């Protein structure tokens, strides 16, 4: 692989142990993927930072990078950890707060922005054609499919390495010739109604890059679909007609398929009738616009009845901006957690049913919590917890 003088110096340790280690990770990965060179990135987003996922070995690695002088060389944001940073949630377990604080302190002192969200594009929307190194699968798919910036699906260590060097390998989705949609998927209007289930279907049934036709949702529903397809099928890029910037991808279809409501039924689960219900919205994190929709609904309906609970997960910054509204929701029995989610943390209590609009949450939580689930539209989630 061709390396510039500066990149060689980084690799040879002239910028310190942390940068050398980071550069070695990038070069090795690039070589395996056949990259001929590295490219400069404008934004790294580091995932895999929750103590409940990386445990002590991960904590020690991050700490060592910090102590040996590792510092962000580009704008870098941090994915959710396992702590509710508002301190208000009674559903998010606090047992790991101290361990997570060590990780967070190391990352922030390395110069990473402590946004603790999986929607980093809320803080800094990427521009078309930018090179990114993002490590949160749902966000990567949004960067590629909605903004027309390019990011490969980086694991946590690769995004971290890109943050410390400012480079990533030139391979995969960074190369325009690799962004070719091979399967045209016509989405029936009936299937557009449940973006979470649609995403799970795409992830499970489509292997190549698809081009979706007939699906034209707002960003909030698009992120739900992309998160689900990234979870169930590792999709990092889905071309969406009328949304993905033209020129970012080519279409060379080998196959055409249609998806309608009945194809999605197996992903939807059963509507609860009896037992305790956890309604969950915010996977990926709620954008302020969605947060306000939920806020207005709850304000109209008042206090949550019975044993049901509603959990909202939001970026830390949304909590800080709308603290009064969060406190008001809390006073009506709604649990709001900032900078975390139940997938990367632990819940303090058990429920009989999970009701959510998120296919990604269903994909992980149905196994993690061994819980019945119902995957439906946002409004229906709210109606069910208020039933």
Binding residues (CB under 6 A) for ligand F3S: these are: 79-80, 118, 138, 227, 283-285, 313, 341, 343-344, 360
Q: What is the closest distance, in whole angstroms, from the C-beta atom of residue 323 to ligand F3S in the complex?
A: 20
Cβ 380 to ligand F3S shortest distance, Å: 19
Shorter beta-carbon distance to ligand F3S: residue 30 or 157: 157
On the 0-12 / 13-18 / 19+ scale of CB atoms within 10 A, 64 is: middle
Q: How far apart are CA 219 and CA 12, in angstroms?
A: 43
Q: How far is the CB of 362 from ligand F3S (least distance, A)?
A: 11
Nearest residue (CB) to ligand F3S, 150 versus 358: 358
Which is nearer to ligand F3S, 79 or 376 (by Cβ)? 79
- Least distance in angstroms from the C-beta of 67 to ligand F3S: 27
Q: At what angle do helices 359-368 and 219-233 cross, to 10 degrees?
A: 40
User: How far apart are the C-alpha atoms of 290 and 220, rounded to whole Å?
Assistant: 7
Q: What is d(CA 349, CA 269) in angstroms, rounded to the nearest whole number? A: 22
Looking at the Cβ atoms of 183 and 338, the one nearer to ligand F3S is 338
Question: Which one, of 112, 144, 102, lies nearest residue 126 by Cα?
Answer: 144
**Residues written for the chain:** 387
Q: Which is nearer to ligand F3S, 289 or 307 (CB)?
A: 289
Q: Which is nearer to ligand F3S, 115 or 240 (CB)?
A: 115
Residue 223 CB, shortest distance to ligand F3S, in Å, is 8
- Distance linking the first and last C-alpha atoms of the chain: 61
What's the min distance (Å) between Cβ of 138 and ligand F3S?
Answer: 4
């Amino acid at each position: 692989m061709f390396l510039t003088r500066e990149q060689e110096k980084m690799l040879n340790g002239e910028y310190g142990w942390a940068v050398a280690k980071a550069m070695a990770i990038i070069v090795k990965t690039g070589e395996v993927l056949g990259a001929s060179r590295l490219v400069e990135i404008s934004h790294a987003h580091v995932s895999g930072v929750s103590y409940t996922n990386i445990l002590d070995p991960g904590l020690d690695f991050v700490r060592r990078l910090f102590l040996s002088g590792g510092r962000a060389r580009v704008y870098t944001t941090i994915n959710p950890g396992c702590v509710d940073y508002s301190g208000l949630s009674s559903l998010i377990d606090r047992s790991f707060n101290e361990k997570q604080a060590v990780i967070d302190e190391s990352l922030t002192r390395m110069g990473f922005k402590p946004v603790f969200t999986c929607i980093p594009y809320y803080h800094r929307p990427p521009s078309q054609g930018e090179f990114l190194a993002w490590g949160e699968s749902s966000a990567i798919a949004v960067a590629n499919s909605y903004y027309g910036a390019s990011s490969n699906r980086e694991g946590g260590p690769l995004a971290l390495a890109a943050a410390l060097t400012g480079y990533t390998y030139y391979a995969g989705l960074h190369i325009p010739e690799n962004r070719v949609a091979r399967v045209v998927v016509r989405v029936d209007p009936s299937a557009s109604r449940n973006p979470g289930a649609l995403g799970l279907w795409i992830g499970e049934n489509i292997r190549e890059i698809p081009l979706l036709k007939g699906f034209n949702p707002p960003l909030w529903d698009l992120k739900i679909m992309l998160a689900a397809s990234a979870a169930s099928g590792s999709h990092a890029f889905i071309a969406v007609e009328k949304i993905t910037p033209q020129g970012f991808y080519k279409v060379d279809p080998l196959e055409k398929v249609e998806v309608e409501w009945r194809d999605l039924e197996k992903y939807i689960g059963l509507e609860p009738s009896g037992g305790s219900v956890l309604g969950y919205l915010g996977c990926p994190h709620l954008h302020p616009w969605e947060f306000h929709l939920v806020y207005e609904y709850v304000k109209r309906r008042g206090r949550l009845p019975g044993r049901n609970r509603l959990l909202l997960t939001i970026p830390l910054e949304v909590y800080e901006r709308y603290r009064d509204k969060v406190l008001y929701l809390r006073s009506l029995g709604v649990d709001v957690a900032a900078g975390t989610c139940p997938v990367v943390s632990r819940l303090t209590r058990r429920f009989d049913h999970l009701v959510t609009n998120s296919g990604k949450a269903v994909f992980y939580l149905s196994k993690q919590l061994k819980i019945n689930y119902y995957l439906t539209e946002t409004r229906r989630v709210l109606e069910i917890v208020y039933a």
